[in-house]
Amino acid sequence: MDAKNLKLCHFNLCCNELPFLKQKLSFLYNNFSQIIMVDYDILNKCNSKDGSIEYIKKYPDPENKITLLTDFDPDKITEYYGLSVVEKQKMFAYGSKYIKDDIDILWATDLDEFFTESTIEKIGNLYLNDQSLISVDQRHIGEFVYNQYNLFDFGQKFYIKPRITRHFKGKIYGHCNFDTYGKTIKFTDEYLYHFSFIGHDRCLHKLILYNKNNCKHQQDEWCEKYLNHLKRCEKYIDINHPGAGAKKIKTIKYNGTFPDYINVEEMVSELNNILTINN
């Protein structure tokens, strides 16, 4: 069997991420048998408001690959697993029941995490050559901040949590816990390109969601510094990572390549929309 014959499902949580959808959805459609998106804004308890839902609904789907879930209700989910924000655990549990029985491998990268066809094929071959393999952890090139030229550098062995796992019929998947399912290996050949901290409003939303123990002053200070760099139209910046456990990490300059299907300039421009500066 060839890796290209494996049936792959891509699962992701969606919240006001239209710039990423414009760059990534066609790639996903061309390389996956099924695409499941659970749309929900955890902070505001509503669906996306930036046109994401409309974009997905209008996207041509002649093969009926796309499942867009907009009726998620955290109060109705009682069985869920994983780490981090509880609502995300529940979103994974809710979306799990829509995965088709004939899927071989489940991918669960975030919409701001990009990879290549080469990565898909290489990881597929890992599964074909090792029937005991359950999950695969792919290293991140770092976390991009502000634009495509600034990167939070965690070193060459920067892994977060596995995003890829072998599918089992009826399984309820958890958020960030694929490494607990069985044999897990670290994939070293290629990177995930993670555009974590691009877009002022998006960064603020993320800081409020993840750093609930941080004082508002710290969040506002970081975002104000980001905004000031935008106002000055600077290419390279010097800013610390805003995460509670990574504040000593600073930016480095990045002048490398990206997956060729991404219009990085367009994506970053949309994320850093000039309207943000005037708000």
pLDDT of residue 218: 72
Q: Give the Å distances, CA to CA, from 207 to 16, 33, 39, 56, 241.
A: 15, 34, 19, 26, 11
Per-residue pLDDT, 248: 80
Give residue-wise pLDDT tens across range 192-214: 999 999 998 898 888 887 766 55
| Total length of the chain | 279
Mean pLDDT of 99-124: 96
What is the pLDDT, as a whole number, of residue 47?
A: 96
Res. 275 pLDDT band, cuts 50 70 90: very low
- Taking the C-alpha atoms of residue 137 and residue 143, their distance in angstroms, rounded to an integer, is 16
Structural domains of the chain, with CATH: 3-141+158-192 (3.90.550.10), 197-278 (no CATH)
Sign of CA dihedral 35, 192, 47, 278: negative
Query: Would you state the pLDDT for residue 277?
Result: 39
d(CA 3, CA 121): 6
Above 80 in pLDDT, residue 244?
Answer: no
Q: Taking the model in full, what pTM does it have? A: 0.92
With bands split at pLDDT 50, 70 and 90, how would you rate the model's confidence at 84? confident
Q: What is the DSSP code (8-state) at residue 7?
A: -
Q: Are 272 and 199 in contact (CB under 8 A)?
A: yes
H helix and E strand count, the chain? 8, 10
pLDDT at position 276, please? 44
